[in-house]
A and B are shown apart, each in its own frame.
Chain A
Amino acid sequence: MSSDTLAQHAAVPETPDKAGTPRIVPQRRFGQWTAAAAVLLLLALAANSVLRNDAFQWGVVADYFTSTAVLRGLWLTLWLTAVVMVLGFALGTLLAAFRLSANPVLRAVSWGYVWLFRSIPILVQLLLWFNIGALYPQIFGVKTVDLLGPVTVAIIGLTLHEAAYAAEVVRGGILSVDRGQIEAAQALGLSRRRRWWRIVLPQAMRSIVPPAGNMLIGTLKGTSIVSVIAVQDLLYSVQLVYHRTYQVIPLLMVATVWYTVVTSLLGVGQYYVEKHYARGTERTR
């Protein structure tokens, strides 16, 4: 905001009014100039301290940035995020439909699910699933430990957690669609399925996409929690390296930069998805 104001301030024309009415002089905003200068100075100092601190070992960061181990970890983080998002939102949409249904049993089940899985911290949940063998040593005659490896446990735990939040996001989106839209579709004889896919969901998406984008980014970073059950994601991969080489900071920087890069790309993607669903509305922000 401040940069806009500064630019406008500078652009005010100095031409006198021909009709002789008094010229308007905008307020001088010395406070804003001072604040901007102070902030820029602090940022420059911070950047200087980071770049000139040899302990960051930027050379080591560069060496490991595209190493096979790191890329493999990145790949796992990416597909784990994708799988959890897809499954989580599929289950979440179902839960939202339950919650909005006329059937009180379905409504209660959906409410209970969201209550339970929002109450349990994801870390606790992962550890519980990881040790589920203590409760059920065998599932369908197979040893639980063999059936549920760390990656499977990660997918189950993260998905169940994600679905609880996705359910609320989707429900909010559906509630944001004007009731008259459904009536109009009913009056035209559109089938229940057609009403849902063609009329309600595309309009709900406008409200769903921003929080869903938030969740996608949260999930991407949140997957790093699976390092506690020894799943070799991006974080765990760099940890494996620095346990060997003791170059803790540069390897954490490798993970940090990769998380930032992917998050930024997702932000760009979200912009275009939002634009798509803003069709027909002049106001897009």
Chain B
Amino acid sequence: MSVMVDIRSVHKSFGPLQVLKGIDLAVRTGEVTVILGPSGSGKSTLLRTVNHLEKVDRGTISVDGELIGYRRSGDRLRELPEREVLRQRTRIGFVFQNFHLFPHLTVLENITEAPVSVLGRPRRAAAEAARRLLERVGLADKAGAYPGQLSGGQRQRVAIARALALEPRVLLFDEPTSALDPELVGEVLDVIRDLARQGTTMIVVTHEIGFAREVADTVVFMDDGRIVEQGPPGDVLDRPQHERTRAFLSKVL
């Protein structure tokens, strides 16, 4: 199977704080990779480097064979102009912990904004596609609502539909259920599970161990800016090789 996201030797610091200390990770097409780890382990930062919301200090990231944020010229990596980065981002869907829906736009406008203004799709076609997406996430009747009128779970499902509207090659989820009331977590996980069944390539940062066990093809455990171990959920979650992983799992399970 081909590799969709190829992360090599990625380093990142915020001032004196080293957040990523050399990450190598390959995500294969059609697979779901779940990243686990304690707060501050660098998992969200890693996810944000994949669509260049954070710039890396060292290392490379490619999505579908294309280097993200830079172009290679000889032995240098030259930063791409913003226009190019924005084009690359349309192929990488991103779902935020706090949804970040646009509160002054309706649900439908939230979803059609990027297809219309970035990809130049006709408004009517974009609206039809958006309605199909809303149906897929179970919110067909909410097209005209404003985000403020929706529950947290509904907002996150709209945010997923918004990310899908650009037909990205890979979807990134940054703790998609962490801001939700416990009773609303299930409806969001259902949507992600559904996407997994349809062969969507995804990287999910989460604390939902049960979800990881059920949906992930690969579970990655991160701590202190490094990948401690990775493998099928059965190995990493049930027979962890490292003491650090065991300690973490014993606390969250």
**Which residues of the other chain, A, contact B82 by a CB distance below 8 angstroms?**
192
* Nearest residue, chain A, Cβ from B103: A280
Report B152 CB to chain A, min CB distance, Å: 15
Assess whether A183 is in contact with B104, with CB atoms less than 8 Å apart.
no
Within 8 Å by CB of B104, from A184, A186, A194, A202, lies A202
Asked if B211 is at the interface (CB within 8 A of a chain A CB), the reply is no
**Which residues of the other chain, A, contact B148 by a CB distance below 8 angstroms?**
280-282
- Which of B53, B90, B102, B118 has the most chain A CB within a 10 Å cutoff? B102
Assess whether B147 is in contact with A187, with CB atoms less than 8 Å apart.
no
Number of A-B residue pairs having CB atoms within 8 Å of each other in the complex: 75
Report A202 CB to chain B, min CB distance, Å: 5
Assess whether B83 is in contact with A191, with CB atoms less than 8 Å apart.
yes
Within 8 Å by CB of B118, from A191, A199, A279, lies A191
Chain A 155-183 interface 0/1 with B at a Cβ cutoff of 8 Å (1 = within)? 00000000000000000000000101101
With known contacts A188-B114, A279-B146, A181–B166 Cβ distance under 8 A: no
With known contacts A180-B98, A186-B86, A187-B89, A280–B118 Cβ distance under 8 A: no
Chain B 84-99 interface 0/1 with A at a Cβ cutoff of 8 Å (1 = within)? 0011011010101010
Asked if A198 is at the interface (CB within 8 A of a chain B CB), the reply is yes
* Nearest residue, chain A, Cβ from B165: A188
Assess whether B117 is in contact with A184, with CB atoms less than 8 Å apart.
no
Assess whether A203 is in contact with B90, with CB atoms less than 8 Å apart.
no
With known contacts A180-B98, A280-B148, A186–B53 Cβ distance under 8 A: yes
Asked if A190 is at the interface (CB within 8 A of a chain B CB), the reply is yes
With known contacts A189-B89, A282-B149, A183–B103 Cβ distance under 8 A: no
Assess whether B86 is in contact with A181, with CB atoms less than 8 Å apart.
no
- Which of A190, A202, A277 has the most chain B CB within a 10 Å cutoff? A190
Report B133 CB to chain A, min CB distance, Å: 14
**Which residues of the other chain, B, contact A189 by a CB distance below 8 angstroms?**
86-87, 89-90, 114, 118, 166
**Which residues of the other chain, B, contact A183 by a CB distance below 8 angstroms?**
53, 96, 100
Assess whether A190 is in contact with B118, with CB atoms less than 8 Å apart.
yes
**Which residues of the other chain, A, contact B96 by a CB distance below 8 angstroms?**
180, 183-184, 187
- Which of B87, B92, B117 has the most chain A CB within a 10 Å cutoff? B117
**Which residues of the other chain, A, contact B175 by a CB distance below 8 angstroms?**
none
Assess whether B100 is in contact with A180, with CB atoms less than 8 Å apart.
yes
Q: How far is the CA of A25 from the CA of B74 in the complex (A)?
A: 86
**Which residues of the other chain, B, contact A178 by a CB distance below 8 angstroms?**
100
Within 8 Å by CB of B162, from A188, A279, A281, lies A188
Asked if B105 is at the interface (CB within 8 A of a chain A CB), the reply is yes
Report A196 CB to chain B, min CB distance, Å: 12
Assess whether A188 is in contact with B90, with CB atoms less than 8 Å apart.
yes
Report B118 CB to chain A, min CB distance, Å: 5
**Which residues of the other chain, A, contact B105 by a CB distance below 8 angstroms?**
280
Q: How far is the CA of A186 from the CA of B114 in the complex (A)?
A: 10
**Which residues of the other chain, B, contact A281 by a CB distance below 8 angstroms?**
103-104, 146, 148
Assess whether A181 is in contact with B102, with CB atoms less than 8 Å apart.
yes
**Which residues of the other chain, B, contact A279 by a CB distance below 8 angstroms?**
104, 146
Report B112 CB to chain A, min CB distance, Å: 11
- A220-244 interface with B by 8 A CB criterion: none
Asked if B51 is at the interface (CB within 8 A of a chain A CB), the reply is yes
**Which residues of the other chain, A, contact B163 by a CB distance below 8 angstroms?**
187-188
**Which residues of the other chain, A, contact B102 by a CB distance below 8 angstroms?**
181, 184-185, 199, 203
Assess whether B103 is in contact with A184, with CB atoms less than 8 Å apart.
no
Report A256 CB to chain B, min CB distance, Å: 39
Q: How far is the CA of A266 from the CA of B53 in the complex (A)?
A: 43
Report A284 CB to chain B, min CB distance, Å: 11
Asked if B113 is at the interface (CB within 8 A of a chain A CB), the reply is yes
- B103-117 interface with A by 8 A CB criterion: 103-106, 113-114, 117
Q: A184-B101, A190-B114 are in contact. List 5 more A-B contacts (CB 8 A).
A: A190-B86, A190-B113, A194-B117, A203-B103, A280-B103
A-B contact pairs, 25 of them (CB 8 A): A178-B100, A180-B98, A180-B100, A181-B100, A184-B94, A184-B100, A185-B102, A187-B51, A187-B96, A188-B90, A188-B113, A188-B118, A188-B162, A188-B163, A188-B166, A189-B86, A189-B87, A192-B82, A194-B118, A199-B102, A202-B104, A203-B102, A203-B104, A280-B146, A281-B104
Mark A residues whose CB is within 8 Å of B: 178, 180-181, 183-192, 194, 198-199, 202-203, 277, 279-282
Mark B residues whose CB is within 8 Å of A: 51, 53, 82-83, 86-87, 89-90, 92, 94, 96, 98, 100-106, 113-114, 117-118, 146-149, 162-163, 166
